[in-house]
């Protein structure tokens, strides 16, 4: 399973980018919206309150961090953690306002404008924004928790090729050390390599012994009519 923990960074590229953009929108629009008359009361730019930090900035930070993790990380477990962080941030965008009555919070104010603009402000600031973040986080979570067929096949091939680190290889037998004591046996030497014998013509050796002749003692050829006397050097016996 170790080989399946690595995933390509392109797996969560789209979800990570969208989560990052939505998180930036959710954290900045309460403070920059009054410039376009698109905000909650009080209608003042960059008006910081504790409720805005808790209900808008905190889930926006969680969404941005989750999007960055999903976008940049290539490890499956860490990417799943980033996706969960984004899902929690999106859920807080949705339920943070209704739950804020439990600690007597004043909330982020009332939406400005007519009915249509108030609905758009409520959706883009909290409810709709949180639903979109939850959807993208869940999409990234599903993509990172499921192991594809190609990834499983690649991991199996890598496992078959790579040696098992826990497997012990048989050690080579140690070479015998020569004994140097008085009763040591002679060490068997490795026979020397023999050169191949080529067929060459060798001169015949001169005969040795009693009847050997030197080349200068060869008798001259006999003339016609001459007869050798027995006992004469070089004569017939």
Give the number of other Cβ atoms within 10 Å of residue 209's Cβ: 5
* 126-184: pLDDT as tens digits: 999 999 999 999 999 988 887 765 665 655 655 555 555 555 555 555 665 655 555 55
With beta carbons less than 8 A apart as the criterion, state whether 64 and 24 touch. yes
Nearest alpha-carbon partner for 89 in 16, 22, 13: 22
- How many angstroms separate the CA atoms of 27 and 157, rounded? 46
Give the number of other Cβ atoms within 10 Å of residue 50's Cβ: 9
Report residue 113 as tokens. Answer: 């404008």
* 98-137: pLDDT as tens digits: 898 888 777 788 888 888 999 999 999 999 999 999 999 9
């Amino acid at each position: 399973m170790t080989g399946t923990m690595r995933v390509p960074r392109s797996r969560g590229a789209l979800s990570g980018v969208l989560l990052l953009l939505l998180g930036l929108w959710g954290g900045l629009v309460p403070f920059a919206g009054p410039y376009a008359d698109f905000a909650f009361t009080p209608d003042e730019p960059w008006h910081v309150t504790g409720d805005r930090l808790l209900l808008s900035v905190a889930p926006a930070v969680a969404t941005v961090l989750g999007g960055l993790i999903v976008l940049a990380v290539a490890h499956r477990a860490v990417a799943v953690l980033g996706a969960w962080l984004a899902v929690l941030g999106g859920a807080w965008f949705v339920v943070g306002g209704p739950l804020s009555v439990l600690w007597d919070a004043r909330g982020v104010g009332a939406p400005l404008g007519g009915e249509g603009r108030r609905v758009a402000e409520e959706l883009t600031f909290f409810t709709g924004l949180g639903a979109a973040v939850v959807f993208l986080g869940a999409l990234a979570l599903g993509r990172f928790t499921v192991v594809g067929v190609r990834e499983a096949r690649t991991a199996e091939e890598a496992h078959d090729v790579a040696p098992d680190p826990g497997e012990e290889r048989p050690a080579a037998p140690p070479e015998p050390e020569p004994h140097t004591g008085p009763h040591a046996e002679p060490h068997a030497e490795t026979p020397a390599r023999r050169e191949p014998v080529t067929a060459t013509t060798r001169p015949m050796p001169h005969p040795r012994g009693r009847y050997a002749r030197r080349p200068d003692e060869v008798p001259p050829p006999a003339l016609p009519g001459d007869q050798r006397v027995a006992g004469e050097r070089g004569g017939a016996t």
